[in-house]
Structures are given as C-alpha cells and as structure tokens.
C-alpha cells in the first residue's frame, strides 16, 4: 500500500530556502510568483496493514522520526483512507 507524507514548516518559522527559490523564479521571468514554501515529500510503501491502521502508524512515524513537530507540520495521505493533518 502506498502512502504519502508531506512535511512543511509551520507558519512563522523562517524558510530561507523557499525565499531563495521564489527570488530565483522571479529572476527567471516568473513574476507571478509571490511566495514559495519548501517542504519534504515522502512516498512510503507499506505491507500487511489496513488503510486506517496505516494512518495511525504513519502518524506515529511522523511524530517519532519524519517531522520535527516543534517547527514542522505534517500531512499524511494513505490510499483508501481519509486524509489526516497534524
């Protein structure tokens, strides 16, 4: 079963990498770019768990390893289950 995890910086946390990407895009002529937020994206392949159980386990994975919940938010999407936020 495939799951996706999205990790983004909480609002208010400085995102210098996002700012550099935004500036670079505008310098390349994409003046419509107002802001960019850089995050992490993980595709996780799981076996032997049901979608709803997988959501709970992925939530634990984010808390323990995948996200730094002091400064980051995460979002989990599992094939066949409802989307969940932190």
Interaction of residue 38 with a second copy, rule CB under 8 A: yes
**Token match 């419509």: residue?**
32
Shortest CB 28 distance to a second copy, Å: 6
Shortest CB 59 distance to a second copy, Å: 11
Q: Which of 10, 13, 23, 40 binds a second copy (CB under 8 A)?
A: 40
Shortest CB 84 distance to a second copy, Å: 16
State how far the Cα of 18 lies from the Cα of 12, in Å rounded to an integer: 13
Cβ-in-10-Å burial (0-12, 13-18, 19+) of 62 comes to buried
Interaction of residue 69 with a second copy, rule CB under 8 A: no
Q: Which two tokens stand for residue 82?
A: 């409802």
The upper half-sphere exposure of residue 39, i.e. CA atoms within 13 Å in the direction of its Cβ, equals: 20
Q: Give residues in contact with a second copy (CB under 8 A).
A: 6-8, 18, 21, 24-25, 28, 30, 32-49, 54, 57, 60-61, 64-66
């Amino acid at each position: 079963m495939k799951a996706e995890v999205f990790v983004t910086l909480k609002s208010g946390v400085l995102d210098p990498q996002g700012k550099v990407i935004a500036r670079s895009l505008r310098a390349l002529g994409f003046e419509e770019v107002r802001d960019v937020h850089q995050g992490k994206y993980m595709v996780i392949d799981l076996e032997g768990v049901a979608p709803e159980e997988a959501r709970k386990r992925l939530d634990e994975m984010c808390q323990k390893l995948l996200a730094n919940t002091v400064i980051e938010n995460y979002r989990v999407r599992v094939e066949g289950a409802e989307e969940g936020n932190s």
